[in-house]
């Protein structure tokens, strides 16, 4: 197997996390949650409204920035970032309170949700953009509406409608990735949304790397836009850490594994990649396997001074 193929497979397995979630302040995450079995999460309008009330309250209480959301009949999507290391607590509060309310209202017992929420981290602007487009297109993919703007229970209006009502959703961060001029960014986002709607898309619960696939398709269609976003990389900078884009990290790992790093630079290069992987939540053993080095080497390199 070619090293890059192994890296790609590893990335796919790590797209959505049910365990070992990252709690880094400023880290943008795509959070998904679904109902247990074929049970619904929302049966009527007041159910959707109560979830939105809770989401607004939780975002204020835990200082979460909400960038996008979509509530579907049996699952939901959130794009958000914690400003403190409290994502676990915030999501536990949100989902437990809704489950208690829903069970009481409909006189039901048992688990409402299928299990722990899942998290996909958005470490570069291209992935973040693709995730937001996917979130807003979920109702179209499910054939609930013909166009995303028709769906009531998502944040799409904040991105596409001029003069949209004030909301707890912060669209300025994501739109700012597209253009510094708000009106122009809105037009670009709307065009991207309609373009992405033409792509074949599976569900994130069936195909975990679907957003990366959407991102790759958009890169091929709009290369100048994605090159510009890669240079700026607002999503990574929001964490306060110097995180490489996924492509840049993969390229450096491949170069290292294939021996294309000169000998005097090997140790610093390995240490840098180890730190990048740790920032993404990889454990020492996983890092050793990915870089084809021993665990002891990983620990020793981390001890070395810069």
DSSP string, 165-234: PP-SB--HHHHHHH-SSHHHHHHHHHHHHHHHTTS----TTT-TTHHHHHHHHHHHH-HHHHHHHHHH-H
Band of pLDDT at residue 262, cut at 50, 70 and 90: very low
Question: Average of pLDDT values for 183-205?
Answer: 85
Inter-residue contact 15 to 9 (CB < 8 Å): no
Nearest to 222 by CA among 173, 200, 251, 189: 189
User: Within 10 A of 131 (CB to CB), how many other CB atoms are there?
Assistant: 26
Residue 42 has pLDDT above 80, yes or no: yes
**Span 58-75, average pLDDT:** 96
Copy the structure tokens of residue 88. Answer: 């676990």
For residues 69 and 52, what is the distance between their CA atoms, to the nearest angstrom? 9
DSSP 144: S
For 267, phi then psi, to 5°, come to: -65, -50
| pLDDT one-digit tens code per residue, 152-190 | 999 999 999 887 777 899 999 999 999 888 889 999 999
DSSP state of 113: B
State the pTM of this model. Answer: 0.78
pLDDT at residue 8 tops 50 = no
Assess contact for 130 and 37: CB atoms under 8 A.
no
For 208-260, the pLDDT digits (tens) are 678 888 888 898 889 898 888 877 777 767 766 666 766 677 778 888 777 65
Compute CA distances 109 → 42, 48, 99, 101, 142, whole Å. 16, 20, 10, 11, 28
Take residue 292 and report the two structure tokens written for it. Answer: 């084809």
């Amino acid at each position: 197997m070619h090293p890059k193929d192994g890296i790609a497979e590893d990335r796919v397995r790590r797209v959505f996390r049910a365990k070992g979630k990252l709690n880094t302040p400023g880290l943008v995450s795509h959070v998904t949650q679904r109902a247990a079995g074929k049970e619904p999460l929302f049966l009527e309008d007041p159910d959707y409204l109560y979830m939105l009330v809770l989401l607004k309250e939780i975002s204020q209480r835990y200082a979460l920035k909400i960038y996008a959301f979509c509530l579907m009949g049996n699952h939901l999507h959130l794009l958000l970032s914690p400003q403190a290391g409290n994502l676990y607590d915030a999501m536990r509060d949100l989902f437990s309170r809704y489950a208690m309310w829903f069970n009481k209202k409909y006189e039901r017992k048992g688990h409402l949700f299928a299990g722990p929420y899942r998290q996909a981290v958005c470490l570069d602007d291209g992935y973040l953009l693709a995730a937001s487009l996917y979130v807003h297109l979920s109702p179209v993919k499910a054939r609930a509406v013909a166009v995303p703007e028709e769906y009531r229970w998502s944040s799409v209006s904040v991105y596409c409608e001029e003069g949209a009502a004030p909301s707890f959703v912060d669209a300025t961060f994501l739109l700012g990735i597209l253009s510094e001029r708000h009106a122009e960014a809105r037009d670009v986002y709307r065009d991207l949304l309609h373009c992405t709607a033409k792509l074949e898309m599976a569900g994130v619960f069936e195909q975990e790397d679907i957003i990366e696939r959407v991102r790759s398709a958009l890169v091929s269609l709009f290369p100048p836009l994605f090159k510009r976003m890669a240079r700026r990389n607002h999503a990574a900078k929001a964490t306060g850490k110097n995180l490489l884009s996924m492509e840049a990290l993969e390229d450096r790992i491949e170069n290292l594994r294939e021996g294309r790093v000169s000998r005097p630079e090997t140790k610093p290069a390995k240490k840098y990649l180890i730190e990048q992987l740790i920032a993404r939540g990889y454990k020492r053993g996983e890092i050793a396997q990915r870089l084809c080095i021993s665990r002891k080497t990983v620990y020793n390199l981390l001890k070395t001074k810069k």
